[in-house]
Amino acid sequence: TWKDVLEYSKANPGKFTYATIGPATTNAIAMELMARQSGVQFTHIPTKGGGESIAAVLGGHIMAMVESPAWAPMVASGQFRLLMVLNGERSKKWPETPTLKELGYTYEFDSPFGLAGPKGMDPKVVKKLHDAFKKAYDEPKVAELFEKFDFTRRYMNTADYQAFIPKLAKEEKAALVKLGLAK
């Protein structure tokens, strides 16, 4: 359990190792904030992505990985144990797994996917791209893949996403400031 991780980390400062795709990424920031709030020290091991992280955990080179659900098939097969989810809602696939807030942390992390283009992009091009991606998003095979990898499906139209991004950037900057990583 996450409680076991914290107890181990208190008894063995810096010996709990975890992988993300790099420092200053959402997942690395989340782990650093959790460590600080919990009064423990973790050791971050950057990797090149899910495949490398999975291999490192299975090989016993690191203890955990923190990533988008590349781990889902490993959890489903019983080779990994899901300790928590970083976003605000429990997983539909693993509803017994707690969220950060349920574990007593004061924040949540969400990494939505979006498509962006250059400032001043022709609105006709924006609409054409939106409509094409929305059509693909609505395809049953895409929904099936979201389900397989336990991604939350959350559609936002162009205006909603444009309003959402500055709010998300502000929250992430506040986390970076708290960690002393903001310039």
pLDDT at 60: 96
pLDDT at 58: 96
pLDDT at 63: 97
pLDDT at 15: 98
Which tens digit of pLDDT belongs to each residue from 121-178? 999 999 999 999 999 999 999 999 888 877 778 899 999 998 988 988 888 788 778 7
C-alpha to C-alpha distance for 92 and 142, rounded to whole angstroms = 17
Long-range contacts of 98-104 (CB under 8 A, 24+ apart): 98/2, 100/30, 100/34, 103/2
pLDDT at 99: 93
Which tens digit of pLDDT belongs to each residue from 64-112? 999 878 888 899 999 999 999 988 888 888 999 999 999 998 877 776 7
pLDDT at 175: 78
